[in-house]
Amino acid sequence: MPTWKSIAPPLSEITPKEIFEQRRRFLRLGAAASLGTLLPSAFAGERLETAAKSPYSVLETPTPFKDIAGYGNYLEFASNKSDHVERAQAMRTRPWSVSVEGLAARPKVFAIEDILKLAPLEDRIYRHRCVEGWSMVVPWLGIPLAALLKQVEPLGSAKYVEFISHADPAIMPNVRRQLLDWPYLEGLRMDEALHPLTLLAVGLYGETLPNQNGAPLRLVVPWKYGFKGGKAIVRIRLVEQQPETSWMKAAPDEYGFYANVNPAVSHPRWSQRRERRIGDFFKRDTLMFNGYADQVAQLYSGMDLRTHF
């Protein structure tokens, strides 16, 4: 007869307490919503008109909205996975403008409404993998980043793209604490930025993007770890030299510029070989480039991905 130890899952397969507690909390919030007591800005948005389903979508069931909107990282507002939800509601996302500048023939400041008109909105279901080991499947709404960059006509000397996020110490507690060198800065190589998978997201589940998920405009690069996706973007700069991104400055031995999902390269403090999909009990194997190898592996041909991590 098997013992409990022989049939019980290993500790590595057990749902972490913070995920369990967060799911229980949002079950309570869901009940409160039916009584009209939940902040409407946290879980309700304006419906967006979208084009047909994108051919870039994965054929996987999306993670429930309450989990996507209720569990995540937004370090400007909170250091845990939940407090940012309520705190982010203090941020005003209209009016909003994004300056696209640097090595461009036609630099311009775009209102968010003008960005929405550059290309039809696409409904893209993407895998999302976080460096801490959890993952989701997210139905984003957005436009290709390439549609915006082409408006400013990048110069031949522009090799990289910087993304600078909003940083307001009046409403963002961790900006006051200087946990990172704010504002949050991320970057892509130009060919990564122009890749058709790279998205400027403005919505989620058919509605405008919730504040806690990076409203009104966030970067989504599905083959990279989630921290590459800057939230609440206010400036985009075309530059010649590789940017020194926020996490590279803070912990260069842990976070490199590329941040490609690579199960063969461990984070210095944990393995990246396995991941836990939010809502699942057991872990699953992590896929190279988060499962997008057929589309993006050629971008890194000849590179040592253990060095360029």
Highest mean pLDDT among 5-19, 20-34, 41-55: 41-55
The beta strand positions in the chain, using DSSP E, are 97-102, 108-111, 122-129, 134-144, 160-165, 185-189, 199-204, 207-208, 218-220, 233-239, 274-277, 284-285
- What are the φ/ψ torsions at residue 109 (nearest 5 degrees)? -100, 125
Query: What integer is the mean pLDDT of 269-281?
Result: 95
pTM for the model stands at 0.86
- CA dist 176 and 186 (Å) reads 20
For residue range 230-271, list pLDDT tens digits in order: 999 999 999 999 999 999 999 999 999 999 999 999 999 999
Give the integer Cα–Cα distance in Å for 30 and 24.
Answer: 10
In the structure, what pLDDT confidence band is assigned to residue 50 with cuts at 50, 70 and 90? Answer: low
Share of the chain above pLDDT 70, in %: 84
pLDDT at 178: 84
Domains of the chain, CATH where assigned: 8-300 (3.90.420.10)
Q: What residues pair up with 230 in beta bridges, in sequence order?
A: none
DSSP state of 150: H
Number of neighbours of residue 204 by Cβ within 10 angstroms: 24
Question: Can you give the pLDDT at residue 27?
Answer: 42
Could you report the per-residue pLDDT of 74-114, keeping only the tens digit for each?
A: 999 999 999 999 999 999 999 999 999 999 999 999 999 99
Compute the distance between CA of residue 195 and CA of residue 223 in angstroms, rounded to an integer: 11
70: nearest Cα among 24, 113, 22, 34: 22
Among 3-12, 62-71, 132-141, 291-300, the range scoring the smallest mean pLDDT is: 3-12
Q: Predicted confidence band at 52 (pLDDT cuts at 50, 70, 90)? A: low
d(CA 304, CA 58): 28
